A and B are shown apart, each in its own frame.
Chain A
């Protein structure tokens, strides 16, 4: 275990970056994904097309390519670190999947909910916010949970662009210590520290909502 003790602060720094990138990307992709999901279910043909194109583009390109695009191309115009470039790419990539989950959730809510709300005088936005989305998220929780866990694991993409995350630090420790096996076991355990509680929390939410339904 001396490898762990010797490199503790390095691991911890990696863990901090991974955690931070995950939180930013989770919040960002949830907001963006919801916006694009709503765009895809509006009456406006333009909004639907934009939503659709966005989702198709970011869902169908490898995350690594999106990351390199921000790190190599966009960073030439707007200065940003590898961490920032990676986190933005992770956010956009994940938001496409979240948009699909949320859209499926919205479509699973019977049309009568929106009609009742509109006939009652609510605007489309009010009806979405107060009536449709709360019900749609309940339906989407298992699928959103999967996306969030994928997001944490996918954050290892930061290592490719000097993002200082767990995987990046792990690569350095492994190279210096020559003990690749132990290093990556430790790294794997650190990922579990984030993903396991997240999984349990999602399961807990699912059970709670099932009981209320």
Chain B
């Protein structure tokens, strides 16, 4: 069954046509990497999936809900679709533990003891159990991002969206975050959509790669096919650029 489905989706920022005729189907449990040059619409596309950006035309089905239908309760979708941001967006006024426990408490009404147990387990999983009572400001970028991942996982989502989760990190922090993501891809049956420039990560974990430019999906292939033999000239050019720096 498909978890995310775009049908002839158009998105505009004023007069600017940001998403052009997007058609895309992602099945439950798939791990898909989305790449493309800066300004190609990757963030825009991923942000429409949890309603942070609205679409103007077409149909966007997420977990069975149509996002373009005004009757759809966006919060129902967000319960099941987590997002990890480039700049973490941790709650600056809450401890690490509270960051993770807040949404399960307010949105899912999870029992407090259970909530804490799950949060601590997740902190363990991302290697930050000792930071439970720290404030976000006291963490490094890589630690913040791992907390943000734990915060998303605490909702036990069906799908998780990553928008350049390592782009704001110092090089030595990137590995830890990618390791956590790799484990999630391997051990969970969540649907993952990852915008990234980390090609080795894409090769290692993605089932599929999608290449975007100028608001259009130009290529949608299996990971192997994409890296061995990209059909689209712009994808070829993009690959040679990112792999040589």
CB distance from A166 to the nearest CB of B (A): 39
Q: Are the C-beta atoms of A130 and B102 separated by less than 8 Å?
A: yes
Kindly state the separation between the CA atoms of A131 and B103 in the bound complex, as whole angstroms. 11
Instruction: Identify which of residues 136-181 in chain B touch chain A, using a CB-to-CB cut-off of 8 Å.
Output: 137, 148, 151-152, 155
A contact residues around B152 at 8 Å (CB): 120
> How many A-B contacts are there with CB distance less than 8 Å?
60
B107 lies within 8 A of chain A by Cβ: yes
CB distance from B155 to the nearest CB of A (A): 6
B contact residues around A120 at 8 Å (CB): 78, 82, 102-103, 107, 151-152, 155
A134 lies within 8 A of chain B by Cβ: yes
Q: Are the C-beta atoms of B92 and A135 separated by less than 8 Å?
A: yes
B contact residues around A123 at 8 Å (CB): 75
A1 lies within 8 A of chain B by Cβ: no
A49 lies within 8 A of chain B by Cβ: no
Contact of B106 among A116, A119, A122, A135 (CB under 8 A): A122
B234 lies within 8 A of chain A by Cβ: no
Contact of B78 among A112, A121, A131 (CB under 8 A): A121
Q: Are the C-beta atoms of B106 and A115 separated by less than 8 Å?
A: no
Kindly state the separation between the CA atoms of A130 and B102 in the bound complex, as whole angstroms. 9
Contact of A121 among B88, B93, B137, B155 (CB under 8 A): B155
B52 lies within 8 A of chain A by Cβ: yes
B contact residues around A121 at 8 Å (CB): 75, 78-79, 103, 106-108, 155
Interface size on B, residues (CB 8 A): 26
A contact residues around B89 at 8 Å (CB): 112-113, 115-116, 119
Interface string of A117-161 (1 = CB under 8 A from B): 111111100100011001100000000000000000000000000
Contact of A113 among B92, B108, B151 (CB under 8 A): B92
Contact of B93 among A115, A118, A122, A134 (CB under 8 A): A134
Kindly state the separation between the CA atoms of A117 and B98 in the bound complex, as whole angstroms. 13
A131-B91, A135-B93 known; A116-B85 Cβ under 8 A: yes
Can you list the 5 inter-chain pairs with the closest CB atoms, starting with the nearest?
A116-B89, A112-B89, A121-B107, A119-B83, A120-B103
Q: Enumerate chain A interface residues (CB-CB to B < 8 A).
A: 112-113, 115-123, 126, 130-131, 134-135, 213
7 A-B pairs within 8 Å (CB atoms) are namely A112-B87, A116-B89, A117-B103, A120-B78, A120-B107, A123-B75, A126-B106
